[in-house]
Amino acid sequence: EVQLVQSGAEVKKPGESLRISCKGSGYSFTSYWISWVRQMPGKGLEWMGKIDPSDSYTSNSPSFQGHVTISTDKSFSIAYLQWSSLKASDTAMYYCARHRSGIPFMPFDFWGQGTLVTVSS
Amino acid sequence: DIQMTQSPSSLSASVGDRVTITCRASQGISNFLAWYQQKPGKVPQLLIYDASTLQSGVPSRFSGSGSGTDFTLTISSLQPEDVATYYCQKYNSGTFGQGTKVEIK
């Protein structure tokens, strides 16, 4: 069974750093791209960026470029989303999602359960 | 950047009604279009990809059509469990539409 299991909720202060994770199981982790999606409270879905776990090649949305870093550790089948300096506006639910097949331009067929990040002083 | 615009933003319909949601791309996107359903408090789920291909396990009352710039998601007979927000996505760039909230009248 394909599963993406994300790390737990986080509460951080502005300026702090954070890394959240997404562990894939039940499939060949390096064969499918992973994307990250943001959902701010009461708002819609926003695509942040994607990564090819086989070689760690990334492509970010211009809206998020330079503010977040996407990476993977293929040895442990984990994808990461990282901030070096959080802002209050980063408060949101973050989802990882698997691309439907092994090419980057595919819809997302499996999603993690979401990680709620709250940034507040 | 190609923008994806959904209409309406919300709708209310009766059980058994036929419901249609529209997604318009600001430029042609061939058929790189997916639809997702997000029930309240839940994770989004893929309904349709390639504009009209039903994802495995999705009820047949859901269907998609369109190509180029104009796409539709149709629920042939609305059920109470279909209460959700529906999103289109141009998946060759990841861009989502703003969502359409579907409620039962």
pLDDT in tens, B46-72: 999 999 999 999 999 999 999 999 999
Q: Which residue of B has its CA nearest to A114?
A: B43
> Each residue of B5-26: pLDDT tens digit?
999 999 999 999 999 999 999 9
Scanning every residue of chain B, which has its alpha carbon at the shortest distance from the alpha carbon of A96?
Answer: B43
* Residue A55 to residues A32, A46, A50, B26, B97, Cα–Cα distance (Å): 11, 24, 12, 33, 30
Peptide bond preceding A14 in cis form (omega within 30 of 0): no
A68 neighbourhood in chain B, CB within 8 Å: none
pLDDT band at A17 (very low <50, low <70, confident <90, very high): very high
Q: What is the mean pLDDT of chain A?
A: 96
The residue in chain B having the minimum alpha-carbon distance to the alpha carbon of residue A41 is B41
- Positive or negative CA dihedral for B60, B23, B43, A20? positive
DSSP state of B35: E
pLDDT at B74 over 90: yes
Report B:44-63 residues touching A (Cβ under 8 A).
Answer: 44-46, 49, 55
pLDDT tens-digit profile of A66-116? 999 999 999 999 999 999 999 999 999 999 999 998 888 899 999 999 999
Is residue B42 over pLDDT 90? yes
CB of A106 closer than 8 Å to CB of A42:
no
Q: Please report which confidence band the pLDDT of residue B104 belongs to, taking 50, 70 and 90 as the band edges.
A: very high
CA distance B19 to A82: 40
Instruction: Please report, rounded to a whole number, the percentage of residues in chain B having pLDDT higher than 70.
Output: 100
What pLDDT, in 10s, does the model give residues A27-79?
999 999 999 999 999 999 999 999 999 999 999 999 999 999 999 999 999 99
Percentage, residues of chain A above pLDDT 90: 95
The residue among B35, B6, B8, B28 whose CA lies nearest residue B98 is: B6
Q: Does A66 touch chain B (CB under 8 A)?
A: no
* Cβ-defined contact of B46 to A50 (cutoff 8 Å): no
- Is residue B1 very low, low, confident or very high in pLDDT (cuts 50, 70, 90)? confident
CB pair distance less than 8 Å for B95 and A35: no
- Cα Rg, chain B, nearest whole Å: 13
| Residues in chain B closer than 8 A to A47 (CB atoms) | 89, 93-96
Please, what's the b/e burial string for A75-89 (b: 16 or more CB within 10 A of its CB; e: otherwise)? Answer: eebbbbbebeebeee
